[in-house]
Structure 1
């Protein structure tokens, strides 16, 4: 009986340690730095920390949105809706940023984003993003009324 109890305690401790390490990096709890798929579109919420910003995986995404306050500071937890040239929503995500990388086909898109100031106020911003045939298109979505 004692070996079974000890084994159970060790297993729980190891599992708890792995979850704590993953949670501290933000990867398990929030999906930060993980490539995910939603409605057929591959995407990643990233850009927090120097290591994240230099990850070589991100260069393979044709579209990169950068969310910034009026002073240029990065914003996270931005709700984003992307519509194609006909106005149809092609992608939507909550609480992403400061970078949102997307595997979108070539085309022109309208980006509608909502950021929060932590005091219950929402700020809206809109940008036009054109995804080309080669390389990565970077579009900065600015929130001029939101202090960084």
Structure 2
């Protein structure tokens, strides 16, 4: 009793269909978080899940400022309040552990506050090259 077809065509079709579905899923997962605005600052936050985290981290050099939020043990954090003061001011919620910011050049103080009230501040001079701030709580 033969349980498979002697023609490879049905199997080739299934393999091609599966590859197409996998590829379309990978493309969808790589889409960046939407750009949002807070005053003169535009930002996108994300990085939840491996694909999105990889996409956000690879985009970091394309932005004047990138922010990364994590616990002391390395676990990523989200839903932090972020406040920028300096050359421009802005306030927003970091909905993911990575935030990419488009903002005017100048000196900024970035303050991040966790849901349980822990707060950290860092100062950065945003210029021609990309900068990154790592907030560990």
TM range (shorter): 0.5 to 0.7
Q: How many aligned positions are there? A: 106
Distance in 2 (CA, whole Å) between partners of 1:46 and 1:73 is 14
Distance in 2 (CA, whole Å) between partners of 1:42 and 1:65 is 13
The answer to whether the 8 Å contact 2:44/2:101 transfers is yes
Runs of 4+ in 1 over 2 A off after TM superposition: 53-60, 94-97
Identify the residue that residue 103 of structure 2 maps to in structure 1: 104
Identify the residue that residue 131 of structure 1 maps to in structure 2: 126
Stretches of structure 1 lacking an aligned partner (at least 5 in a row): 1-24, 144-148
Question: Over alpha carbons, which structure has the higher Rg?
Answer: 2
Superposed CA RMSD: 2.3
Distance in 2 (CA, whole Å) between partners of 1:74 and 1:129 is 22
Offset at residue 140 of structure 1 (A): 0.5
**1:111-141 Cα deviation digits (max 9, x unpaired):** 111102xxxx32111112222212x211001
Identify the residue that residue 134 of structure 2 maps to in structure 1: 140
How do residues 1-148 of structure 1 correspond to structure 2 at under 5 angstroms?
Answer: 33-55=33-55, 57-84=59-86, 90-116=89-115, 121-134=116-129, 136-143=130-137
Stretches of structure 2 lacking an aligned partner (at least 5 in a row): 1-28
TM-score (norm 1): 0.62
